[in-house]
Amino acid sequence: MTAFATALATLDTLRSAASDPGALAGLSRPKFKSMFGAVDLALESAVKAADGSDKRTLVGLRRQFKRAAGQVEMHMGVRYENHRDRIEGWGQYWADLDGQIYDLGVLLERLHGSASAIGARSTSRPIVVRITLPEDEPNDQTAEGA
């Protein structure tokens, strides 16, 4: 199984957890690190193969993903100590993370898609990823004149 295939399978697992937080109730920290490590490995190899604006996009997404992984791991520690937090906070956190997981899934599927090898894709076609961060606003500027 390639790093991309492993990452996509991991993202599917994490997305299902967003709708059913109980699905990860028995998840240990080592297993969690292994799951996120698989996705990070795929992102790392994608960063190495990319160039220009694609590379900047991937570096930013990888940084976001690592930050989210750290927050979830910290939340897991709280979860083990406080049973009420397991019920009240865990599901909401996964629901919040779901948008980022979706974005990474779209990106990895596109990179791994029909071109099969990252190097085979045309660099003239930009990678378009739906980012769901609140500070992002559409660019309404239009070019005037020809």
Specify the pLDDT at position 16.
59
Helix axes 3-19, 29-49, angle to 10 degrees: 130
Specify the pLDDT at position 66.
75
Measured distance CA(146)–CA(144) in Å, rounded:
7
Specify the pLDDT at position 54.
73
- 77-113 pLDDT tens trace: 555 444 444 434 444 444 444 455 555 555 555 555 4
Specify the pLDDT at position 7.
67
Specify the pLDDT at position 135.
42
User: Which regions of the chain are under pLDDT 50?
Assistant: 1, 80-98, 113-146
**What would the 3-class secondary structure string for 20-45 be?**
CHHHHCCCCHHHHHHHHHHHHHHHHH
Specify the pLDDT at position 55.
78
Measured distance CA(87)–CA(128) in Å, rounded:
36
Among the listed residues 6, 12, 3, 1, the one whose alpha carbon sits nearest the alpha carbon of residue 106: 12
Tell me the helices (H) and strands (E) count for the chain, helix number first.
5, 0
Dihedral of alpha carbons 9, 15, 19, 22, sign? positive
